[in-house]
Amino acid sequence: MVEEYEVVPITPLRKIEKRLEKMEQGSPGYNAVLRDLTEMMKENQKVVDNLVNTNSELISNIGTLSEKLGELTKKFDDFMDSIEVAETSEEPEEFKTLKEQNKKLEDTNQELSDRLKKLEKRTKMAALSRYYYQRPQQQGSQKGGQY
């Protein structure tokens, strides 16, 4: 039984080991850029969080406004119904215009309410997607720091 041996030069292996050590230590400029990027990502996240909070408050306030407009419209309808037209077979022109304006207000109120519901859904989806897509970005930034 004959054993075979192979001679492998050590110099290229040493060069690769030194290069790997340099990469593991990282250059100062590279680390500074990573810190700056991390800081910018944190600031960006704060801005997004503030924007989502402000948007939610705005939606809430618009919802309250919509409810108040609905109440006002109802009271106005009740008021208009309580007015009796005295001794005329036809409605006065002012009464007709008031009814038309009231109908327009109701339509606008309904459209605003529908838009609010859509906006609320979109905001919720954006907030949820931010949490779902935040983790892969963090993992990617961690991998970038290891190289």
Residue 98 makes CB contacts below 8 A (sequence gap 6+) with 80
The whole-number pLDDT of residue 145 equals: 47
Determine if the pTM surpasses 0.75: no
pLDDT digits (tens, 9 = 90+) for 4-17: 766 666 787 788 88
Both tokens of 130, joined, read 């931010």
Distances (CA, A) of 146 to 20, 21, 41, 116, 140: 11, 12, 18, 45, 10
Q: Which residue has the higher pLDDT, 28 or 125?
A: 125
Backbone Cα Rg of the chain: 35
